[in-house]
Every structure is written in C-alpha cells, then in structure tokens.
Structure 1
C-alpha cells in the first residue's frame, strides 16, 4: 500500500493529477452558506467517470460510497488534532488541511 499526499495551495483551486492508473482533474471550491464548506469535483481526464460536489469531511474515506464507479483507492482529508467528521473551514485549505490518496 502506498499513501500519497496531494499538494494543496490556499483558496479554491483546480489541478490535474495522476492517482493510480488514472489522470484526474480535481477542483476544490468553498461554499460559504448553511450546509456549505469545501467541495471536491474529481473527473477522469479521459471522461470515463466523475464525482461532483463531494463534501470534504475528515475521518472518512471520501470514495467509499462510490465503489461502483471504480475510482480506485481511498481518498481522505485530515487536519491536525483531527476531530472525526469535522468540516474544514475556508482558512484550513492549503494551511492545515491535508488531502491523501492510497492505492488500497
């Protein structure tokens, strides 16, 4: 099993990245509203599959519920002194929020 930390900058962002067998376009946006927070769009660059509007919540495999899409591996976010199911704030992105991917 290998674990890869996805590099993040501050604020909303969009970037291409290879995770496992696939290339993805990842977009992270913040919605400042009730029920808002950070959301992830993850689209295979070959157009074969996509996840859109996935909320970033700590302490869970963000891809677990999408096993049928064969996105491969596990994706999760962490904060220092992590509290399970904590929703990261706008200021956390690129500062204290870490996003990880594993091929297992």
Structure 2
C-alpha cells in the first residue's frame, strides 16, 4: 500500500494529477458548508462531482463500480472525525491517495 499526500492550500484550486498512470483533474472548492472535490478526466469532464471532504472514510468508496483503483482519504491533525474548516486544507487537514502496491 502506498499513501501519498496531495499538497493543498486553503484556496479554491484546479490541478492535474496522475494516479496509477492515469491523468485526472481535481477541483477543490469551498462552499458555505465545507470543502468539496470534483474528480475529472484529463479533458475536464466530471467523473464524480461534489464529493464532500470529510474525515473517517474513503471518499470514493461508494463509487467502487468506477474501478478507479485508488482511495482518497482526508486525515486531520485534530482528534475526532471533524470536517476541515475553511483555512485547514494543507495545514491540519491532509488529502491522501491510497493505492495498492503493484
């Protein structure tokens, strides 16, 4: 198993990322209720939209039928399963990709 942290800042952002040799785009945006992630293909078409960034669960587990081949977990430096605040991403909240070793 490989765990890789995605370096984030507490800003709305869109970036390219390669996971298991497949290119994706990730968009992370703050809405009044919290942080949300859109996973897109390399052309910018949504694969999954509006994933709330919460701790305590694999964020893409419910999309197993897509056979993504990875998990996305949000880890917090604080105790408990709290959602990150507006200024926490990259500081006390860490988005990580978990892949199985080949």
| TM-score clears 0.5 | yes
* Secondary structure at 1:59 match in 2: coil
Q: Give the superposition deviation at 1:72.
A: 1.6
* Secondary structure at 1:76 match in 2: strand
Determine the structure 1 residue equivalent to 2:85: 89
Structure 1 residues 22 and 82, CA, compared in 2 at 3 Å: closer, same or farther? farther
Taking structure 1 as the reference length, what is the TM-score of the superposition? 0.86
Greater strand share, 1 or 2? 2
- The list of structure 1 runs, each at least 4 consecutive aligned residues, that deviate by more than 3 angstroms after superposition, is 46-49
* Secondary structure at 2:87 match in 1: helix
Q: Which of 76, 79, 99 is the aligned partner of 2:76?
A: 79
Taking structure 2 as the reference length, what is the TM-score of the superposition? 0.88
Q: Unaligned 5+ residue runs, structure 1? A: none
